[in-house]
Chains A and B, each alone.
Chain A
Amino acid sequence: MRITVDGHELEVDPKPGQVLRTLLREHDVFSVKKGCDAGDCGACSVIVDGEPVHSCIYPAHRVDGRTVTTAAGLGTVEAPHPVQQAFADAAGFQCGFCTPGHVVTVSTLSEEVRADPAELERHLKGSLCRCTGYRSIRDAIEGVANVTADGGAGDAVRPPAAMRVVTGSEEYTLDTPRPATGLLHLAVLPSPHAHARIRSIDASAALALPGVVAVLTHEDSPATLYSTARHEHRTDDPDDTLVLDDVVRFRGQRVAAVVAESARLATEATALIRVDYEVLDAVFDPDEARTGRAPLVHGEKSLNNRIAEAQRNVLAELHGEAGDLAAGLAAADAVVEGEWTTSRVSHAALETHATRGWLDDDGRLVLRTSSQVPYLVRDEIAHIFDLDPERVRVFTKRVGGGFGGKQEIFTEDLVTLAVLATGRAVQYEFSREDEFVRASVRHPMRVRVTLGATADGALTAMHIDQLMDTGAYGNHGIGVMYHSVSESISVYRCPNKRVDAESVYTNNPPSGAFRGYGLGQVIFAIEGAMDELALRLGIDPFELRRRNVVVPGDPMIVTDPHEENDLIYGSYGLDQCLDLVERSLADSRDQHRWSSRPGPARPAVSARSPGDRGSTGGGSPSEEGSTGEEGSPGDGGWRIGEGMALAMIATLPPRGHIATADVTALGDDAYEIRVGTAEFGNGTTTVHTQLAATALRTTPGRIRIVQSDTDGARYDTGAFASAGVVVAGRALYAACLDLRAKLDALPAEQHAGVSASASHDGTPRSVAFNVHGFRVAVNPGTGEVRILHSVQAADAGTVLNPEQLRGQIEGGSAQAIGTALFEEVIVENGVVTNGTFRNYRLPKITDVPRTEVLFADTHDELGPLGAKSMSEAPYNPVAPALANAIRDALGVRPTALPMSRDRLWRLAQSSRLS
């Protein structure tokens, strides 16, 4: 049959059961993305005969004679559609993977719909963005311009890829034609058991299927143990994983991999593999797992694998005390205790994990992958498969979101095995369900906090008892544990501190690196306890923080006062952040009437109507009366509350983060820079061009970037721990200054070919701060929360690109609001029961309020031009600030995430009963 796609006639032959998206991508129409494959996210949106549809659920057999328009058909880089230009001018994207679908969708909306906020939100509920927090998307739709095409450090410059992103022509991992020699596809057979030993695998029926090239099992796997987690030092993580193991430790773990001529065939063939399992006892509760009486997840391993106590399922533990906790508690006038829990969260990067691998003409292994850490992937793949790293090339194109989830090897290892086994090009693409089942989630934690303080608010004692479920494998399970109890605790001066932390194996799906790297979970608990302490002492929560936070000159102590580390106050803006948020909350109160009830002053009822979006139709904060007595919420009345929380974070990971940068003059005031950092929406590439332009005294448009390719730049530890600006950026800036000096000594005609290099090793490190404040209305009768005011102040040092920095803070806030109110990967007896966006409740445009973003005025002595990192940090103070505001509204404290409506309703009921 024939269809017209973006003005081109295509002869197509859809397979039975095929959807339009795969048909289009089979024909190299890459402006159509796969985000969810289920009609939830809209990344695949196209227009069919004038009507927008989700092409991933549009049966391909219906397309005969139809006209299909994708983002690429709306406009081009040279001649963009007005909506595309608006998204570029507003910087209405970060990773950009959802952008072609957003552009297509918005292009079909009438002026009336665009002008009506409620109608607009309804029309965009099938267009999900994980990066931006939607403010910049709203700006694009409203025609607000936020960026300019050119500028130096400090300017709101738009990303170099902007026009390609909005027109669907920017390449992501799998946006490339099949090689002429063909392409094999890989599909895995998942374990149906949470814990089992594989007695035997019979793959004969699968292998007999025409088109099946290989079935790989544990018998084909290298014997080298590794961790999927990647760090500068491979010894930071336990060696507990094999490419394919004869023991499976969580439900969904890969048992075998089929390599076949098509993805369809590979998937079909997995059903023909017969596996004989010896089912083993499993353990799902981390507290039970560490008793010594539970089934052992890695019982055959030991300290040699860097597992602290394999016979107790304990991967890592920290027990330490500074001062004398008991004495500190005895000296306290007030003691608060509590237990806080956090849930599993999916990164939900819109681009799933995916790798295409092949052997190049010299027989070198090449991996094109969706990774934050191409150099670390190269080194570990070489280690696992006993290859010379020189014989491995790993590169990324633009990566469709990461959030820590791509600081792992989840697809590259199997693809390598398959390429080496078949000698052919092989592709492995995760489904959205795979992301929930087989990638990683944020570590769920149970945190007990005890705080003691004097009557005037000085902390005397602090005890943190942290238990985290690292799941079946220990990827990031050591680092996250240590980090979780670091800056969260050291931000407070307190003479007596004790930490008990354990990272425990279970037969649950593995947890891994997630934005904030453990800090957020413990900050949720500590900041909740600090809020409780403020209430107990009758001290304003801002004031209580001011009395206890570290200031320059104070040691930053967890449990060892004599610990030697490389953390310094390169700058300090926490005081400003506290002031900024406090003032913003106060200034916004004139939008709300004031309560006359006693106690800390707070607004009672909104004057505007935050309940406009009210789903119940009955009752909104504006129409209901004032709140009842503390602790006795009325059934219908919305209650208003305020809350705040703070977070500190080191600007870099400890123990080294290394980047090299090379810059070469091309002549005619043009330059090529080579850096290792991957771009996944973090905006590093934009900042790198700005830094280079500033140092070279030119404009970003004169800079050509070669990045994230192990053949292209010498080395970069990777784009994680927010290192892209402060490590690679600093190296790049130094290299560019050096080149400028060389060029200034030469006549212009001798410039071409002159180059300079620099590197940076990521030490010493500075600290950055974030403070978040909320005013909310809560309906105790339904559990609904309306965010009336959201403000975050950030101490990011020098602001290199105000629009991007604002975007990072908004995006981090939005992701944290999702964590706080909506998101939870539900695991029952090791089984993920809600592995789709629709059942996981990824925040939509309607769920995310505008967050006011304020910057402290500081200049860091370490970062490039005084800048600090700000990618993970904005996420961390949000959930506790929101919980504290809800506590203020309801009079009872929520301590479990997510604070979903059913939970908050139940909490309000229990408080009324008690």
Chain B
Amino acid sequence: MDLVGVTTIRTPRDRAEIALASGDRVIGGGTWLYSEPQSGFDTIVDLTSLGWPEVEETDAALTLAATCRLATVHGLRSREWAAAPLFGQAVEALLASFKVWNVGTIGGNLCFGVPASAMVSLTTALDAELLLWGADGDRTVLAADFVRGPRDLDLAPDEVLRSIRFPRAALDGRTAFRKIALSDLGRSGAVSIARLGPSTGSGSSGASSGDESEFVLSVTAATARPWVFRWPGVPGDAELTAALDGVDDWYSDAHGAADWREAMTRRFAVELRDELGAGS
């Protein structure tokens, strides 16, 4: 919809031109910002004009620009990595249609930062690291720490999300995915992802980088912020239960009541553990 309060569109050509001022709002694709009435800003800074390469790869990592379109992320599902199918599953978990994927971006979805943001599910499950460009320099933050709650990000007003780095070790893990919503292709009520494979060295599961059997469970959509649990091997029922007992922000909104979302998450945790554990 038309954003009637906007008076200026800036299309920076390089980093210096980004120069965020108060009253500036950053967009990737813009598909969310333009989907609801907005207030409190008059300038839109369109990062797509920077022309960042969408996908960059090295032996150590896959790096996606914040402006990498969701359609491109979806396309990664057919790559050779063990975790490749997750890119497809996560994008398909979005309520947004494939027509939105042609415009919407991974960075935009991360910075939207609601429980159902499926790129939060993807990046937390794969221990992705986010590169933030600030007025005074760069910093990185783990995906699991970036979204602190619905629409609450670890992102300063002068910062933009530049890129998302997926460590190679995460891409080499086997993954399993569960989603449920109140309707089949609706906005997610619970999204849980498990990964079993080489440790990325993130977090403190006791596994160290290079360890071949770290089990990572990412819990999203059902909670106000993402939760990531890790074990040095496949966890037992009691360990799963104990971990989820620590979740204190089961979420309730039009997409499902908190008690149901908690029950679905607990159900998924067992199913995911069984699915990945069966092959190990």
Contacts and interface: CB of A to CB of B under 8 A. Distances in A.
A406 B35 CA distance: 25
Given A838-B187, A847-B183, A16 B7 contact: yes
B61 interface: no
A781 B190 CA distance: 14
A295 interface: no
Interface stretch (B117-125, B206-214, B234-242, B261-269): B261-269
B102 A51 contact: yes
B46 A62 contact: yes
Nearest to A270: B4
B36 A38 contact: yes
Nearest to A101: B99
Contacts of B180: 615-616, 782, 784, 901
Interface stretch (A119-127, A134-142, A440-448, A687-695): A119-127
A16 B5 CA distance: 9
B67 to A, nearest CB: 12
A632 interface: no
A53 B256 CA distance: 29
B243 interface: no
A61 B11 contact: yes
With a 10 A CB-CB cut-off, give which of B8, B99, B187, B189 has the most chain A CB atoms: B99
Interface residues of A, number: 66
A843 B183 CA distance: 8
A194 to B, nearest CB: 20
B16 interface: no
Nearest to B35: A38
Contacts of B8: 16
Contacts of A127: 97
A810 interface: no
A56 B97 CA distance: 13
A902 interface: yes
Interface string B27-49: 10011101111000000101010
Contacts of B92: 122
B183 to A, nearest CB: 5
A17 B6 contact: yes
A822 B183 contact: yes
B55 to A, nearest CB: 18
A783 B35 contact: no
B185 A121 contact: yes
A124 B96 CA distance: 11
B152 interface: no
Interface residues of B, number: 56
Interface in B233-280: 253-257, 259-261, 263-264, 267-268, 271, 275
A616 B260 contact: no
B1 A431 contact: yes
A158 interface: no
Given A38-B1, A45-B99, A62-B46, A902 B34 contact: no
Contact of B254 (A267, A433, A833): A833
A39 B100 contact: yes
Find the residue from B96, B178, B185 having the highest chain A CB count within 10 A: B185
Given A17-B3, A37-B1, A264-B4, A52 B102 contact: yes
B230 interface: no
A125 B185 contact: yes
A782 B267 contact: yes
A105 B100 CA distance: 12
A862 to B, nearest CB: 41
A57 B100 contact: yes
Contacts of A833: 254
Given A54-B99, A833-B254, A17 B187 contact: no
Interface in A807-866: 821-822, 826, 833-834, 836, 838-841, 843-844, 846-847
B141 interface: no
Contact of A839 (B177, B187, B260): B187
A51 B48 CA distance: 17
Interface centre among A42, A267, A617, A909 (most CB of B within 10 A): A617
Contacts of B259: 902, 906
B4 to A, nearest CB: 5
Nearest to A14: B9
A125 to B, nearest CB: 4
Given A56-B1, A782-B264, A841 B186 contact: yes
A118 B6 CA distance: 40
Interface string A893-914: 0000000111001100100000
Interface string B134-174: 00000000000000000000000000000000000000000
A768 to B, nearest CB: 31
Contacts of A900: 182, 256
18 contacts: A16-B7, A17-B2, A17-B44, A22-B2, A53-B102, A54-B99, A57-B32, A59-B27, A122-B98, A124-B97, A126-B96, A268-B5, A615-B185, A781-B267, A822-B182, A839-B253, A846-B183, A902-B261
Given A17-B44, A51-B102, A268-B5, 8 more contacts: A18-B2, A45-B99, A54-B103, A124-B97, A126-B100, A616-B180, A616-B268, A616-B271
7 smallest CB-CB distances across A and B, nearest first, come from A126-B97, A17-B6, A17-B3, A902-B260, A37-B1, A834-B254, A38-B35
Interface of A: 15-19, 22, 37-40, 42, 45, 51-54, 56-59, 61-62, 105, 121-127, 263-264, 267-268, 431, 433, 613, 615-618, 635, 781-784, 821-822, 826, 833-834, 836, 838-841, 843-844, 846-847, 900-902, 905-906, 909
